Structure 1
Amino acid sequence: MEKQEAPRGAILQRDGETWAIVPRTPVGLITPEVLDALNTVVKKYSIPIVKITSGQRIALVGMKAEQVEPIWADLGTLVGQAIELCVHFVQACPGTSVCRFGVQNSLGLGLELEKLYVGMELPAKVKMGVSGCPLCCASSLVRDIGVIGKKDGFTVAFGGHSGGKPRAADIVAEGLDQDQVVALVKKLLDYYRDNAKKKERCARFAERVGIEAIKAAVL
């Protein structure tokens, strides 16, 4: 069977005929306008499956290839990366915005990281999690780059993974303010980009290189 060319931002499903997309929903926040557009698109194109993903995104599943581009146009959202070798998303908990346990502004920091780094080309996909307290509701310790809010500031961790070979991330630095987190994340991404093998996730890179070598390079 001839391999199909993937429509923009789409993932081929197991039937070999239909596709899925994941519209950008930064840190899991969805506006009324995006909700309306999603509802309209799902009905208009009879999309059979709408699924919330582990990364706080909404997957639309089961479209024909020729439907994908018109759906993007109707949605009016940015394309969400799903298979590209880049930063895919930043997930974040509510933090101090609403949660009684929150001690740091995880949504504000998550939105800034999303704006700056999502789509940045890298050796493999990278996912980030920003938690507003040590309860770590944004899965920060099993993300490629994780941030955890504590009373004295943010903790940054690197090399987490929740897949078939799970790994808890290594702590890189603690007691940081928001600007320091943003700068450190940039250094971590740059070092990873320049030194990792193609398709080597951060967890495997950290195991191969060692967290002390990574810390020496970025701190």
Structure 2
Amino acid sequence: MNQEEKKVKLAVNSGISFGAKLNAKQLTVIAEYMNDSDELELTTFQQLYIDVLESNMEKVEEKFKEVGLLCYPVGNLVKSLRTCNFCKGEKEEGMPVAIELNKRIAGKSVPFTLRPAYTGCPIGCGEPLVNDIGVMKVRDGYDLYIGGKAKGKDAKLGTLLLEQLTPEQLYEVVEKIINIYTDQGKKKETFFKFINRYGLENLKNQLPITL
């Protein structure tokens, strides 16, 4: 009897642009790697989960890349950046900054799934205040929130950690926070619980002194 080939889950989206959208060509390519009975799972983090043959993974990722789809592993990793629709424009709301931040952090291994979010103005459509790490563009700077929690009886808004960061300061600080969480967090400890245990001031004291 032939052993059924192992399938692995792959997270897919179209990257950071004006809203979470897929075009017809992207949908067609995704469908090529699905059977009639297969289903796509749409997550709350603007990703699609698709099961692909493990032996076919590299080929699938290459085909997806050709049509502008980004692929991410699934597990205890930093999720791709959840964003707003950039309704006021690419430059005004800082889309290049969101793209660069996503490139630097998405897919990094962490003690438990970490959800970052970005919004280009104080309206907050990207919901940065209820995610683990949230970035809000305010005027010409970037405000950084951490420790938000959207679900449960202990749901809470994130705490404003730093204000009016430059893009380079933002990248440096967020990467440092994630590194601290990776090094000091316990296995399967959520970021929300880690912040409560580790302490905001303790965390802040370890951030780059150039700020």
Contact kept? 1:191, 1:218, Cα under 8 Å: no
Corresponding residue for 2:131? Answer: 143
Please give the residue correspondences for 1:53-202 in structure 2 after superposition, counting only pairs within 5 Å: 53-60=43-50, 69=57, 74-76=63-65, 77-83=69-75, 85-95=76-86, 98=89, 104-105=93-94, 107-164=95-152, 165-202=154-191
Corresponding residue for 2:14? Answer: 25
Contact kept? 1:88, 1:118, Cα under 8 Å: yes
Contact kept? 2:20, 2:85, Cα under 8 Å: no
Deviations 1:87-131 (A, max 9, x none): 1210111336539xx9531x2222111111111122221111011
Quote the Cα distance in structure 2 between the aligned partners of 1:24 and 1:153. Answer: 27
Structure 1, unaligned runs of 5 or more: 11-20
Contact kept? 2:7, 2:52, Cα under 8 Å: no
Q: SS of the counterpart of 1:22? A: strand
Could you tell me the percent identity over the aligned residues?
A: 23
Contact kept? 1:146, 1:157, Cα under 8 Å: yes
Contact kept? 1:55, 1:91, Cα under 8 Å: yes
Q: SS of the counterpart of 1:79? A: strand
Deviations 1:31-85 (A, max 9, x none): 64xx41322442663255445432122334xx686897475565344432332x2
Most deviating of 163-172 and 150-159: 163-172
Structure 2, unaligned runs of 5 or more: none
Quote the Cα distance in structure 2 between the aligned partners of 1:41 and 1:189. Answer: 31
Contact kept? 2:176, 2:207, Cα under 8 Å: yes
Contact kept? 2:41, 2:49, Cα under 8 Å: yes
RMSD, matched Cα? 3.1
Deviation at 1:149, TM superposition (A): 1.2
Task: State TM-score, norm by structure 1.
Answer: 0.75
Quote the Cα distance in structure 2 between the aligned partners of 1:25 and 1:92. Answer: 12
Corresponding residue for 2:7? Answer: 7
Task: State TM-score, norm by structure 2.
Answer: 0.77
Q: In the alignment, which of 199, 205, 211 is matched to residue 216 of structure 1?
A: 205
Deviations 1:123-175 (A, max 9, x none): 22111101111111111011111101112511001112223342321111001
Q: SS of the counterpart of 2:12? A: coil
Q: Residue 160 of structure 1 aligns to which amino acid in structure 2?
A: G
